[in-house]
Amino acid sequence: MKKLKGYAGKILHIDLNNMTHHVLPTEDYYEWGGGHGFGAKLFWDLCEDIEAVIDGRDPRNVITIAGSPFSGTNVPSAGGRCEVTNVSVGLIPRNRFTRSNFGGHFSSMMKHAGWDAITITGKAPYPVYIDVRNHHVMIRDASHLWGKDTHETQQFIQENVAKIDVAAGWNAQLDGNDIGRTTQKASVLAIGPAGENQAALGCLIHGAGNAAGQGGNGAVFGSKNLKAISFIGTGSVDIADPAALVKARFKTREFYAVDVDKSTNFTYNGLSAGPAAITFSQMPTEHRASSCHGCVNGCKQRNAIGYGNEVTCQTSVWYLGAVRSYKFGGDAKLSLHNRSIDLTADSLYAGDLANRLGINTYAIMALIPWMQKLHAKGKLGVGKKIDSNLPYEILGSREFADKFCHAIATGTDIGAHFLDGVVPGVQALGHGADVDNGTLDYPYYGMPEHGYDTRAELEWGYATLMTDRDMNDHALNWIYWTVNLAKLSGIDLPIPAKEMATCFVEKMAPYIKPDEVSAMDYASHNMYSEVLARQVQWVNHYGRFWKNSALMCDFRWPDCVNLQREDLRGATGNDEVGEHVWWNAVTGEDISYVDGIERGRRILNLDNAIWVLEGRHRDDAKFADYIYDKKLTYSKLPTFLWPATNEAGEWDYRDMLGRSHCREGVETWKSHYYRAEGWDPDTGWPTRALLESMNMKEVADRLEQVGKLGKEG
Amino acid sequence: MSMNKNSSEMDTGRRHFLAAMGGVGMLIGFSGTAYAIRDDKVYIKSSGGALVVDLKKCMGCGTCMTTCSLVHHGKASLSLSCIQIEQDVFKPFPQDIQMSTCLQCHDAPCVTACPVNANKASEDFDFVRDIDPDKCIGCMQCIEACPHTPSRVQWNPTTRCAQKCDLCLNTPYMEEQGGIGGVQACRRVCPVGAIAFITELPEQSLPQNYVVNLRNENWAKSGKTIED
Ligand code: SF4
Ligand code: SF4
Ligand code: SF4
């Protein structure tokens, strides 16, 4: 294969069993793109015994942190994302190969140091951190860092790395005669006490608040005695057609991205959204929007109050309901009706606390109202059935947040029950019914509700069932926020429902024809249709390549509806600034938008083969009972509007509250999906013909060895 | 190209000068029009423009940096960028971001330090201070001479030359004409408009004089401060 631009050319393999490192040529992995594709193939190649690794804390687990050709470039909202892959910790009914993703400046610095990815196997004999300065790789003792929080750890390493001062404000690295210089700090990815204690709720933190956690990544680091990874680089990324890249970026800025000095557009995600802190508590004006490398419109924030930097999105709400409850009474469940400024400081404090201790706030959020209820009923507290010394009477205060987070991170007090995950812990405490009945909303695989209940937002749950985790793909979720926030704010959204649906459908090549608008019809009469299976295929395949592997930001891509454009059509798939335009300008390949999606299909199929080896079967793919047995009555916004037709076929934004799933319907939908993928509908396993058609004979052979190939036809 | 109205003949306040120690012999080989002699002192004429920045508007995306290196070198690099955005994400706003641009100093110390006139201010380019890589001998004296931290002159380890902001004069990978009156890539690409271009340079070449407020009422609508 010809050498491609955009890649650094090297993948760093760290073998912690032997405390050595090796260089793998990136060229061998080109066909997998980058990011998730790299992670999946590296896992396939390096995991000694896939079937035997049933917990992410097994030393045989392989964790990969991967960039892409876009990392470290100015491809819009793609230069700073980073994919993490590993076997999970704490999922049900079993752990599996899974993914997470974080932003900031880690993948960009890794690339500028000359590396496309780092993959780690084995377990170090004592705590270590990895210190990479351009091509110099050091596995260093981290005993002095063990016990420190994620911010202290990063600052310590940054100080240590930055000490070779060669000119005012410029540092050199250990490069002998090649004196590349930088003004930048090292980019560090670290665990806090939660990861050190191998808690399933432990996550990885980079910067003040970029986190990867849904899959127990922090516990995986901890189990390997790995405290942190640091990169500093003074190199560059070679670009195949720099002029085309610059031109497309100018066009994006001028014709697709928001004009912050003029625009009054109302939109949430996508390229035309404004650079604004996505915090659900109201920010004091003294803050800036901050962003990952290369973003067109940052979604994070840094503020003047001295804590809470980069507390964003979910991390800004995990404690919000509790703060409100403590200050004004009522229960601690999240609602965005009232998110006034007097709740902000404490919410940011709690977010910061979780970031420092390295706790996955998604996992703990639902525990808060659950604990509040149990305490009120006298079942939780000192000497109670669930014995705990936490001060539940002041749940919602900073003091409670401190004690609770400390318990979770150290696996003490109430945290002792959740070291292996929330749902296993709740079940062991004899409260499994609370998961079944939705008191705790963990709808799939022991993972928390992301905020978009699948009884309303169908694709979120379906795509999750067909993959490995809460899918966390906001491709279509743009609609939820834009439409419902507009409604809440009294803004008249100028896009009729059918046109909105059409805009999305037009981007769903090759699975949906431009006139199959029913692919975006979320009406109850369309819930289990075959066309919805193909829509979810598009979500999964588009996501696996363009987002998880090429590493275009999930909040900004795809750009299906763009309010800067008169015709409302976004950048996705177009020949001016669409995904493939960037890929081709950076790498020098000549692929189409659909070629990328096809690569995503192949990557998903490698994932599925790994899941099958791990024991996956069609029967695993089901929701918690409450999704079928109870109607959805709650939304954190007052409405859950979505485009849908009525019986007469008329389109409108209709409220999805008030409905549930039915088991037979979901099974019907699954069969549609398996058939669309070419997977055996009885088992969900791939067939040899399918794998061979994607040039994966070796994968088919491996599945055959263990008798897990799907039946043909 | 029009003569810069803000040139050093009008500027009596500055006392940095070239060749205070010597006669006009020092100037042999220099483009005489780049200098003005006043009170027996030789000044470099002022640049026809410079960048200014808004430290409270920048979001730290670094797009300006990788675009600067792309238009000049065809590579995405932080180290080869003439604009340096430094961040300490653990510091409170607004101390978390520092934006360092070349000030196109009056009587630029980097120009005066160059022993071979590679770092120069040419009338042809409206006195933008820039470095001719073909002439640069890699002595690093201009890097040392820039009075600001970080030094606004970068070291390119591949070419073993110094380089600095030329306001995008020499940009083989940008379709548009750069320089004064043209496009500055960092300014054009910045998603939030945190970089602007001025033709009237401040009296003194101090970084704080190049910090401006570029936030308007529309910015305030997003809940962020528009105060200085
Ligand atoms: S490089 Fe430094 S000395 Fe030279 S003009 Fe720029 S800021 Fe002034
Ligand atoms: S004006 Fe041009 S050369 Fe100067 S910093 Fe900006 S992009 Fe770089
Ligand atoms: S492009 Fe603009 S927002 Fe981004 S780092 Fe540069 S100046 Fe700041």
CATH number at residue B174: 3.30.70.20
Residue A263 and residue A176: Cα distance in Å, rounded? 50
Question: Is the Cβ pair A167, B188 closer than 8 Å?
Answer: no
Q: Which of A196-200, A342-346, B213-217 has the lowest mean pLDDT?
A: A342-346
Q: Which domain holds residue A174?
A: 10-232
Q: Which residues of A583-598 are buried (b: 16+ CB within 10 A; e: fewer)?
A: bbbbbbbeebbeebbb
Facing B93 at nearest CB: one of A170, A236, A303: A303
Together in a domain, A403 and A470:
no
CATH number at residue A641: 1.10.599.10
Q: Which long-range contacts (CB under 8 A, 24 or more apart) does B83-87 make?
A: B83/B51, B83/B165, B83/B186, B83/B195, B84/A169, B84/A183, B84/B150, B84/B152, B85/B58, B85/B60, B86/A169, B86/A183, B86/A184, B86/A185, B86/B150, B87/A185, B87/B60
A652 has pLDDT over 60: yes
Stretch B71-87: mean pLDDT: 98
Residue of A nearest to B158 (CA): A178
pLDDT tens, residue by residue, A241-264: 999 999 999 999 999 999 999 987
pLDDT given for residue B20 in this prediction: 33
Together in a domain, A140 and A284:
no
Give A335's pLDDT tier (boundaries 50, 70, 90).
confident
Together in a domain, B84 and B153:
yes
Together in a domain, B25 and B74:
no
The distance of A337 to chain B (nearest Cα, Å) reads: 18
* Planar angle of CA A82, B71, A587, nearest 5 degrees: 45
A174 assigned to some structural domain: yes
B73 assigned to some structural domain: yes
Ligand 2 pocket: which of B154, B171, B184 to mutate (most atoms <8 Å of CB)?
B184
CATH number at residue A329: 1.10.569
Total count of domains within chain A: 3
Residue A124 and residue A223: Cα distance in Å, rounded? 9
For residue B221, list chain A residues with Cβ-Cβ distance below 8 A: 264
The distance of A199 to chain B (nearest Cα, Å) reads: 25
Together in a domain, A275 and A386:
yes
pLDDT tens, residue by residue, A536-559: 999 999 999 999 999 999 999 999
For strands A641-645 and A136-141, give the pairing.
Answer: unpaired
Stretch B94-113: mean pLDDT: 97
Mean predicted lDDT score pLDDT of chain B: 87
Query: What is the residue type of B128?
Result: V
Together in a domain, B40 and B53:
no
Give the whole-number percent of chain A exceeding pLDDT 70.
99
Sign, CA torsion B157/B159/B161/B165: negative
Residue of A nearest to B57 (CA): A288
A262 assigned to some structural domain: no
Window 59-78 of B, Cβ < 8 Å to A: 59-63, 66-67, 69-71, 73-78
A426 assigned to some structural domain: no
Q: Which residue has the higher pLDDT, A32 or B4?
A: A32
Together in a domain, B95 and B31:
no
A402 has pLDDT over 90: yes
Note whether A378 contacts B: Cβ–Cβ < 8 A: no
Together in a domain, B30 and B51:
no
Stretch B176-185: mean pLDDT: 97
For residue B157, list chain A residues with Cβ-Cβ distance below 8 A: 175, 178-181, 234
B227 assigned to some structural domain: no
Q: Which of A68-77, A161-170, B119-128 has the lowest mean pLDDT?
A: A161-170
pLDDT tens, residue by residue, A520-534: 999 999 999 999 999
A250 assigned to some structural domain: no
For residue B74, list chain A residues with Cβ-Cβ distance below 8 A: 238-239, 242
Ligand nearest to the CA of B72: 2
Total count of domains within chain B: 2
Ligand 2 pocket: which of B165, B174, B199 to mutate (most atoms <8 Å of CB)?
B165
Q: Which of A490-504, B11-25, B126-140 has the lowest mean pLDDT?
A: B11-25
Of A186, A210, A232, which one is at a domain's C-terminal end? A232
A324 CB contacts (<8 Å, ≥6 apart)? A330, A332, A335, A338, A343, A396
Together in a domain, B24 and B108:
no
The alpha carbon of B148 and the centre of ligand 1 are apart by a number of angstroms equal to 8
Stretch B105-125: mean pLDDT: 94
Together in a domain, A138 and A22:
yes
Together in a domain, B23 and B63:
no
Stretch A272-291: mean pLDDT: 91
For residue B69, list chain A residues with Cβ-Cβ distance below 8 A: 236
Q: Which residue has the higher pLDDT, B110 or A279?
A: B110
Q: Which domain holds residue B20?
A: 13-44
pLDDT given for residue A341 in this prediction: 83
The region that residue A170 occupies, defined by phi over 0 for left and psi between -120 and 50 for alpha, beta otherwise, is beta
Together in a domain, A701 and A647:
yes
A244 assigned to some structural domain: no
* CB-ligand 2 contact for B165 (6 Å cutoff): yes
A176 has pLDDT over 60: no
Which two three-digit tokens encode residue A257? Answer: 């991205």
pLDDT given for residue A472 in this prediction: 94
Q: Which of A267-276, A411-420, A647-656 has the lowest mean pLDDT?
A: A267-276
pLDDT given for residue A342 in this prediction: 85
For residue A292, list chain B residues with Cβ-Cβ distance below 8 A: 61
Ligand nearest to the CA of A296: 3
Of A185, A216, A232, which one is at a domain's C-terminal end? A232
* CB-ligand 1 contact for B104 (6 Å cutoff): yes
pLDDT given for residue B10 in this prediction: 36
pLDDT tens, residue by residue, A57-99: 999 999 999 999 999 999 999 999 999 999 999 999 999 999 9
pLDDT given for residue B1 in this prediction: 34
Together in a domain, A124 and A196:
yes
* Planar angle of CA B97, A291, A335, nearest 5 degrees: 115
Give A177's pLDDT tier (boundaries 50, 70, 90).
low
pLDDT given for residue B21 in this prediction: 31
pLDDT tens, residue by residue, B188-208: 999 999 999 999 999 999 999
Helix count and strand count (H, E) for chain A: 23, 22
Question: Is the Cβ pair B63, A249 closer than 8 Å?
Answer: yes
pLDDT given for residue B173 in this prediction: 98
Mean predicted lDDT score pLDDT of chain A: 95
Together in a domain, B61 and B169:
yes
B4 assigned to some structural domain: no
pLDDT tens, residue by residue, A583-597: 999 999 999 999 999
Together in a domain, A26 and A169:
yes
A680 has pLDDT over 60: yes
Together in a domain, A701 and A611:
yes
Nearest to B143 by CA among A176, A232, A172, A72: A172
B7 assigned to some structural domain: no
Residue A180 and residue B77: Cα distance in Å, rounded? 11
Together in a domain, B111 and B123:
yes
Together in a domain, B39 and B69:
no
Facing B79 at nearest CB: one of A234, A245, A263: A234
Together in a domain, A276 and A227:
no
pLDDT given for residue A1 in this prediction: 66
Stretch B130-146: mean pLDDT: 96
pLDDT given for residue A61 in this prediction: 98
A441 assigned to some structural domain: no
CATH number at residue A87: 3.60.9.10
Together in a domain, B110 and B28:
no
The alpha carbon of B151 and the centre of ligand 1 are apart by a number of angstroms equal to 8
Residue with tokens 């910015």: B219
pLDDT given for residue A339 in this prediction: 64
B124 has pLDDT over 80: yes
H-only helix segments in A190-251: 193-196, 217-223, 242-251
Stretch A424-435: mean pLDDT: 97
* CB-ligand 1 contact for B41 (6 Å cutoff): no
Q: Which residues of A137-155 are buried (b: 16+ CB within 10 A; e: fewer)?
A: bebbebeebbebbbbebbb
A429 assigned to some structural domain: no
Three-class secondary structure assignment of A439-504: CCCCCECCECCCCCCCCCCHHHHHHHHHCCCCCCCCCCCHHHHHHHHHHHHCCCCCCCHHHHHHHH
How far from chain centre, in Å, is Cα A242? Answer: 30
A488 has pLDDT over 90: no
Together in a domain, B186 and B84:
yes
Q: Which of A505-509, A614-618, B4-8 has the lowest mean pLDDT?
A: B4-8
pLDDT given for residue B33 in this prediction: 56
Residue B70 and residue A400: Cα distance in Å, rounded? 50
Together in a domain, A166 and A293:
no
Of A417, A439, A470, which one is at a domain's C-terminal end? A417
Residue A81 and residue A100: Cα distance in Å, rounded? 11
A386 assigned to some structural domain: yes
- Grouping H, G, I as helix, E, B as strand and the rest as coil, residue B17 is coil
Q: What is the pTM of this model?
A: 0.95
B228 assigned to some structural domain: no
Size of interface A-B (CB pairs under 8 A): 213
pLDDT given for residue A457 in this prediction: 98
B21 CB contacts (<8 Å, ≥6 apart)? none
- Grouping H, G, I as helix, E, B as strand and the rest as coil, residue B99 is strand
